[in-house]
Amino acid sequence: KWSKNPKYVADAKEFGFILQEKKVGTEFAVGAYFGPAGFSEPFFENFEYKKFMDGDKGPTTGEQGTLVMAVKKSKLADIALKPFAKMLRELDYVGYVDISGCIDDKGEYWPFEFTMRDGWPIRHNIQALQIGDPAQWMLDLINGYDTLKVRYDTACVSVVVSIPDYPNSKLTRRDVQGIPVYNASDREHIHLCGVMLEEGPKQMGDQVVNVPIYKTAEDYVYVATGLGENIGGARKSAYSAVRKVKFATNDEQLRWDIGRGRLIEQLPKIQKLGFARGFRP
């Protein structure tokens, strides 16, 4: 294909090109917060689900849901994250650091990307796992103290819930504002994103009255999280919360295989290689 494209041929001659070798393996990531005192104690091992539909089909949206565990010791962090501590300190970096890549059948790690921000939905996973004041530990991090407390030995599943024409609303320009969202007041499990408060119809006893209710403000509506002693328990908790929330249009979109899917086969493989030891089906 490239040899038949004049622009690609010209660019290759002028700038050169890199031929990448394809690597096949299990995608796995780890993140942590970094400040003047170094990395905070918990490392957040995570599996991202980037494709739009179950079974890893459809377009890549960025992330449709994530399986996370907070751990004190992480083989992946030792290999891929801790070696950057000196550089991060020299840069006076403060914030979240996540590295994603894949583990091949020999146990070698091939990095894909860094994420130097509080990405969604994993930020909601971390919030669900965190114990105590949701903001004080961030101020402490800036000042060189590690006071972040989390639930260990706990799996957390997050699920992104959207409405059409996500992930293409910016292209189709469909109006996605003003759709009533009901039963979304569960702050433990429901993390509102593209939502606003506006007057709308609500059943109150035998009458329908106009009161302030949640309505969609964009296509990325909310993230649901669930905790459990194992992956199955976390999935049950997250999806139970999803089933309670109702849209007036009944056209919510989400993946139903977060924490399952490809992991059924892949998790035992990498656990034999010493990775992700804390995750239990």
Q: What does the block give as tokens for 21?
A: 């070798």
Q: Select the more confidently predicted residue: 170 or 168.
A: 168
Three-class secondary structure assignment of the chain: CHHHCHHHHHHHHHHCCCCCCCCCCEEEEEEEEEECCEECCCEEEEEEEEEEECCCEEEEEEEEEEEEEEECCCHHHHHHCHHHHHHHHHCCCCEEEEEEEEECCCCCEEEEEEECCCCCCHHHHHHHHEECCCCHHHHHHHCCCCCCEECCCCEEEEEEEECCCCCCHHHHCCCCCCCEEECCCCCCCEEECCEEEEEEEEEECCEEEEEEEEEECCCEEEEEEEEECCHHHHHHHHHHHHHHCEECCCCCECCCCCCCCCHHHHHHHHHHCCCCCCCCC
Residue 171 binned pLDDT confidence (cut-offs 50, 70, 90): confident
| pLDDT given for residue 117 in this prediction | 85
Pair 72, 153: CB distance under 8 Å: no
pLDDT at 116 over 80: yes
Residue 255: count of CB within 10 angstroms of its CB: 22
Q: Are strands 220-228 and 155-162 parallel, antiparallel or unpaired?
A: antiparallel
| pLDDT given for residue 87 in this prediction | 96
Q: What does the block give as tokens for 18?
A: 């890199």
Average pLDDT, the chain: 94
| pLDDT given for residue 23 in this prediction | 87
Residue 118 binned pLDDT confidence (cut-offs 50, 70, 90): confident
Q: Select the more confidently predicted residue: 104 or 134.
A: 104
Give the pLDDT confidence of 63-79 residue by residue, as tens digits. 999 999 999 999 999 99
216 to 34, 72, 112: CA distances (angstroms): 35, 38, 34
- The distance of Cα 91 from the centroid of its chain, to the nearest Å, equals 26
pLDDT at 212 over 80: yes
Identify the weakest region by mean pLDDT among 11-25, 151-165, 251-265: 11-25
Q: What does the block give as tokens for 111?
A: 């990095």
Residue 88 binned pLDDT confidence (cut-offs 50, 70, 90): very high
Identity of the amino acid at 252 = E
| pLDDT given for residue 128 in this prediction | 96
Give the pLDDT confidence of 226-237 residue by residue, as tens digits. 999 999 999 999
pLDDT at 246 over 80: yes
pLDDT at 18 over 80: no
| pLDDT given for residue 17 in this prediction | 76
- Rg of the Cα trace of the chain? 21
| pLDDT given for residue 147 in this prediction | 95
- Sequence length of the chain is 281
| pLDDT given for residue 27 in this prediction | 96
The mean pLDDT of 185-198, rounded to a whole number, is 95
Identify the weakest region by mean pLDDT among 119-123, 137-141, 145-149, 179-183: 119-123
- The distance of Cα 151 from the centroid of its chain, to the nearest Å, equals 18
- Please, which residues bridge with residue 71 across strands? 43
Q: What does the block give as tokens for 42?
A: 């918990």
pLDDT at 12 over 90: no
Closest listed residue to residue 152, CA positions, set 70, 216, 229, 97: 70
The mean pLDDT of 56-63, rounded to a whole number, is 92
| pLDDT given for residue 83 in this prediction | 96
Q: What does the block give as tokens for 88?
A: 């991060």
| pLDDT given for residue 205 in this prediction | 85
Give the pLDDT confidence of 253-270 residue by residue, as tens digits. 999 999 999 999 999 999
The mean pLDDT of 40-64, rounded to a whole number, is 95
